Amino acid sequence: MQRYKVKGKRQMGFKIQKSKRLLSALVIAFAFLLFTFNFSLAATAEAKHYTELQLAPLAEIKLPKYEGFVLQNGLVVYLMEDHELPLVNGTALIRTGSRVEPLEKVGLADFTGEVMRTGGTKKHSPDQLNEILEQRAAAVETNIGEASGNASFQALSEDLEMVFGLFAEVLREPVFAQEKLDLAKTQARGSIARRNDDPDEIASREFQKLIYGKESPYARTMEYVTLDKVSRQDLVNFYQQYFHPNNMILGIVGDFDAKKMRSLIQAKLGDWKRNPKLVKPQLPEVSPANKGGVFFVNQPQLTQSSILVGHLGGRFDNPDYAALDVLNGVLNGFGGRLFNELRSRQGLAYSVYGFWSPRYDYPGMFIAGGQTRSDATVQFVKSLQAEIKRIQAQRVTTKELAFAKESTLNSFVFNFQDPSQTLLRLMRYEYYGYPSDFLFRYQKAVAATTAADVQRVAKQYLKPENIVTLVVGNQTTIQPPLTQLATQVTPIDVTIPTSQPQLKN
């Protein structure tokens, strides 16, 4: 009996101690809440509207130190040391591109860029190359885009010499294995077969044809018939025509010693013979394929329309590029005219945009568009056209101008997020013949842009009378019909041309 009494006292003591701890915890919690409440009141009292905040000006952006030189064989080299991480990245730009491939063999450049890497080298088979790189968490890649070829490598600092040697092999000694070309063709056939699955992809592809012309290298597409005409020898010939040291720019950034890196480049690429008869590729002429019109791709399964409107544009080196980019800022983004009018006020679209989109060495486009429900298609197009005309007729407000310029200038820092990005930009300027300080000139020009400048470039470069309109949607549910936009609506047939598959060449 006594034993149970003792146990009871212990239990009671435990409960008392527990109650004391709970009371202490409540006191502490109450004190914390009281402090937080008072702090919140003080913070609320001191809080300011975002327009009243005084922020320090952005720090001046400066290029990291780098060095450039040219090997005797004509290879242009940029080196930029960055010892933050034990990594090294390199990129070679080659003066070529799909725009110089023959019309009857569209896909040749793409296959050349792919199989150059996947096909292995004279010293290493594809499997050997992959295994060596995978074991060291390294990479060597190649591809050929519209206006340039690209070869790149990534490596840990300790593996630099070995990986750079493989990179040089891929550049100098690709074998273009037939089985890898066959595989690439099989994958390309699958892509062609699926290219009408996405209405936005249809719109983008067909709109480029309407602007540049269906046979233009800036708009033409790979077909089964052009794919079948590409042989392994075509890849070899294309490679031999363009891959020479005096047709390349090499940039390397990362954790290395510049003097040693220079010696490594000389050892691996210095004895590569230049091509004394190298001819710079002739760029194709560009002229508008259409100067207006309404075009339609019928996709009965759709419940909304994908819409693009626009016309031929210009280049980055246009002296008005900065003002045109500020114009982009007025039109786009949260608070932009298109967002405010077509989305917020009229509720026509979740996303809407309009951009003057230039290119480095050929005219880009002015392109605007978005997606909307089928029964709002005509209203969306008319509202988009109205906003294009309004920015010509109505000078932007001081608030709009300040917002557009600040957004543009504040985003300027993202052009220099890391040394690799900065170095690639310098290489790109070298590739297209732009001054190395081009971006800084642009920055100053943006800061100097006025409301009058924005209105002037809108009047000069936007051509409402020449706007091409493309709608991808369901003909039966687009009401009112597209004939309210134009008396003649031109249908576009996106049926994929067929040909007998040919796996061997």
Q: pLDDT digit of tens for each residue in the chain (505 aa)?
A: 333 333 343 343 444 444 444 445 544 554 544 444 454 554 555 666 655 666 566 566 778 899 999 999 999 999 999 999 999 999 999 999 999 999 999 999 999 999 999 999 999 999 999 999 999 999 999 999 999 999 999 999 999 999 999 999 999 999 999 999 999 999 999 999 999 999 999 999 999 999 999 999 999 999 999 999 999 999 999 999 999 999 999 999 999 999 999 999 999 999 999 999 998 888 888 999 999 999 999 999 999 999 999 999 999 999 999 999 999 999 999 889 999 999 999 999 988 999 999 999 999 999 999 999 999 999 999 999 999 999 999 999 999 999 999 998 988 777 777 899 999 999 999 999 999 999 999 999 999 999 999 999 999 999 999 999 999 999 999 999 999 999 999 999 999 998 654 444 4
| Listed residues 222, 254, 269: the one ending a domain | 269
What's the pTM?
0.85
For residue 140, what are the β-bridge partners? 153
Q: Are residues 126 and 261 in the same domain?
A: yes
Both 119 and 194 in a single domain?
yes
Give domain status of residue 3, yes or no: no
CA proximity to 427, closest of 131, 87, 63: 63
Domain span at residue 354 reads 293-491
Strand partners, 310: 367, 468
- Looking up residue 222, the CATH number of its domain turns out to be 3.30.830.10
Q: What is the rounded CA–CA span in Å between residue 352 and residue 340?
A: 10
What amino acid occupies position 161? E
Q: In angstroms, rounded to a whole number, what is the distance separating the alpha carbons of residues 328 and 314?
A: 14
Number of domains in the chain: 2
In a domain, 29, yes or no: no
Rounded alpha-carbon distances, angstroms, from residue 384 to 86, 390, 451, 469 = 50, 10, 21, 11
Q: Residue 51 has which token pair? A: 């327009």
Nearest to 443 by CA among 389, 405, 492, 469: 405
Cα separation, 87 vs 436, whole angstroms? 25
Cβ-based burial of 364 (10 A; exposed 0-12, middle 13-18, buried ≥19): buried
**Does residue 343 share a domain with residue 222?**
no
Asked if residue 95 and residue 216 are part of one domain, the reply reads yes
Rounded-to-5 percentages of helix, strand, coil across the chain = 50, 15, 35
Looking at the domain assignment, is residue 501 inside a domain? no
* Residue where a domain stops, chosen among 215, 234, 269: 269
Strand partners, 70: 76
User: Which of these, 352, 350, 420, lies nearest to 383 by C-alpha position?
Assistant: 352
